[in-house]
């Protein structure tokens, strides 16, 4: 199932990344990546920031996945994590040391032996419309054809514009964009992916969360590794250098929603959390969740906030040690997501979104979103 293709190391690569030569006794970190443009861009970004932060050389190892080969719609592939599975296999087989995933494509169930060792600062979380002739969502003509393979986006498009024809499409970002102005009037994509690919000029309308709640974790990258390696400074230190606490708190809450609803990345569920400042200067984590009937006939939206101790938004690089404030903040973030999801379930979310009747469980809490809690500076 896995095919590998060694790529040249990142030092001396063009693009202005700062790389530092290291002694030949330090082996490069091997970063497993899918071969799509988006995956390679994301992997290269993480590789460069690791090298810039630590001087450690990073080598890309290409892994081919089922998700890349299939031409079936993501909805029809059914299972979550088609993209992640091969990278995880390669990590467990020792064929690479770290793997970069789009967090939103990563199943919430923990993989024994693997952990998310770093969550770099998140890019823009929003979905955007790329339409012909610069059209916004409101300006699309009656019955316009809009492409997406995501039941979450399809449901919200139908809610916003019941007249639209939503077309189930698949393929990489470039393939989707190429259909705009030919058989489609527009497609909906993640702004983060377009940004990474240098394609922001194709955006004709940024969809705010009141119209289009993004996928939990959208815009965030996850760096996964073998849990045992995380305890070694050789890997643990570089990963801690690129970890971003506000991102970790936000996506913990969002993914706790998904897990509690027992929903996968293809479910019609949107969530977005952000760390803000309350009236009195306190840190507040605010979470908005929506579950949608796939046909756009119903929606259920709820928001909730929680005050966090200290000032996690100021901590971009985590120091080693223990701090009670961080344990408390991470727990509060998970509780926020679990609590809001339980409320949604009580209000009928499983029926509306066609989810398996979920039994709330906290057993897996924290399992895939990181190693042992580490402190932020709670000044
Ligand atoms: N499901 C595919 C996928 N996975 C991650 C991104 C973009 C980057 C991100 O959302 O983090 C995309 C493309 C898209 O949804 O437009």
Among the options 37, 97, 105, 233, which is catalytic? 105
Residues 96 and 236 in one domain: yes
The CATH number of the domain holding residue 319 is 3.30.160.40
| 185 within some domain | yes
Q: Whose CA is nearest to atom 9 of ligand 1?
A: 219
Which secondary-structure segment (H or E) carries 288? Answer: strand 283-292
Phi-psi category of 262—alpha, beta or left, where left has phi over 0 and alpha has psi -120 to 50? Answer: left
Q: Which of 49, 201, 209, 47 is nearest to 124 (CA)?
A: 209
| Angstrom distance (rounded) from CA 310 to CA 319 | 15
Residues 235 and 248 in one domain: no
pLDDT of the residue at 81: 65
| Angstrom distance (rounded) from CA 379 to CA 377 | 6
pLDDT of the residue at 127: 98
Average pLDDT over residues 234-261: 94
Instruction: Indicate the SS3 state at residue 289.
Output: strand
pLDDT higher at 193 or 65: 193
Sign of CA dihedral 108, 111, 115, 120: negative
pTM of the model: 0.85
| 377 within some domain | no
State pLDDT tens for residues 77-88: 434 467 788 999
ipTM for the whole complex: 0.97
| 379 within some domain | no
Residues 11 and 111 in one domain: yes
Residue 74 has pLDDT above 90, yes or no: no
Q: Whose CA is nearest to atom 7 of ligand 1?
A: 193
Q: For residue 212, with 0-12 CB atoms within 10 Å meaning exposed, 13-18 middle and 19 or more buried, which class applies? A: buried
> 208: CA distance to ligand 1 center in Å?
17
Q: Is the CB of 247 under 6 A from ligand 1?
A: no
| 36 within some domain | yes
Residues 171 and 289 in one domain: no
Residues 175 and 320 in one domain: no
Domain encompassing residue 148: 127-207
> 18: CA distance to ligand 1 center in Å?
27
Residues 30 and 170 in one domain: no
| 364 within some domain | no
State pLDDT tens for residues 330-375: 999 999 999 999 999 999 999 999 988 644 544 444 434 443 333 3
Q: Is the CB of 127 under 6 A from ligand 1?
A: no
Residues 88 and 237 in one domain: yes
Phi-psi category of 203—alpha, beta or left, where left has phi over 0 and alpha has psi -120 to 50? Answer: beta
Residues 102 and 229 in one domain: yes
Average pLDDT over residues 314-340: 76
The CATH number of the domain holding residue 174 is 3.40.190.10
Mean pLDDT for the chain overall? 84
Q: Are 144 and 191 a contacting pair, CB within 8 Å?
A: no
| 213 within some domain | no
Give the total number of structural domains in the chain.
3
The first and second tokens of residue 69, run together, are: 């080969």
Our answer to whether residue 124 is catalytic in this structure is: no
> 217: CA distance to ligand 1 center in Å?
10
Residues 163 and 131 in one domain: yes
Give the DSSP per-residue string, 29-67. Answer: EEEEE-SSHHHHHHHHHHHHHHHHHH---EEEEEE--HH
| 171 within some domain | yes
| 370 within some domain | no
Residues 131 and 263 in one domain: no
Residues 81 and 182 in one domain: no
Residues 41 and 91 in one domain: yes
């Amino acid at each position: 199932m896995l095919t590998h293709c060694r790529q040249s190391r990142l030092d001396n690569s063009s693009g202005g990344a700062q790389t530092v030569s290291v002694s030949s006794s330090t082996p490069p970190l091997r970063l497993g990546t899918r071969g799509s443009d988006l995956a390679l861009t994301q992997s290269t970004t993480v590789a460069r920031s690791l090298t810039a932060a630590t001087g450690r050389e990073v080598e890309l190892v290409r892994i081919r996945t089922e998700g890349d080969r299939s031409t079936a719609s993501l909805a029809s592939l059914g299972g979550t994590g088609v993209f992640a599975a091969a990278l995880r296999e390669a990590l467990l087989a020792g064929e690479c040391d770290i793997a970069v995933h789009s967090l939103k494509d990563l199943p919430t169930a923990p993989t024994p032996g693997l952990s998310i060792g770093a969550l770099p600062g998140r890019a823009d979380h929003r979905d955007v419309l790329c339409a012909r002739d610069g059209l916004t969502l409101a300006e699309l003509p009656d019955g316009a054809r809009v492409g997406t393979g995501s039941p979450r986006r399809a449901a919200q498009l139908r809610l916003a514009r019941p007249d639209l024809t939503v077309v189930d499409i698949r393929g990489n970002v470039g393939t989707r964009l190429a259909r705009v102005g030919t058989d489609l009037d527009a497609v909906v994509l993640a702004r983060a992916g377009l940004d990474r690919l240098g394609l922001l000029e194709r955006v004709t309308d940024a969809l705010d969360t009141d119209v289009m709640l993004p996928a939990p974790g959208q815009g965030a990258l996850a760096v996964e590794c073998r849990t045992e390696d995380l305890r070694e400074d050789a890997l643990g230190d570089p990963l801690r250098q690129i970890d971003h606490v506000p991102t970790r708190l936000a996506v913990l809450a969002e993914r706790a929603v998904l897990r509690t609803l027992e929903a996968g990345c293809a479910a019609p569920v949107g969530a977005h959390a952000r760390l803000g400042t309350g009236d009195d200067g306190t840190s507040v984590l605010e979470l908005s969740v929506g579950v949608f009937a796939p046909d756009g006939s119903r929606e259920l939206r709820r928001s909730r906030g929680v005050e966090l101790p200290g000032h996690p938004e100021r901590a971009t690089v985590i120091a080693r040690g223990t701090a009670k404030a961080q344990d408390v903040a991470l727990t509060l973030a998970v509780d926020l997501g679990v609590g809001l999801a339980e409320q949604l379930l009580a209000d009928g979310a499983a029926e509306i979104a066609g989810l398996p009747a979920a039994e709330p469980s906290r057993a897996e809490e924290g399992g895939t979103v990181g190693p042992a809690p580490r402190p932020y500076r709670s000044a």
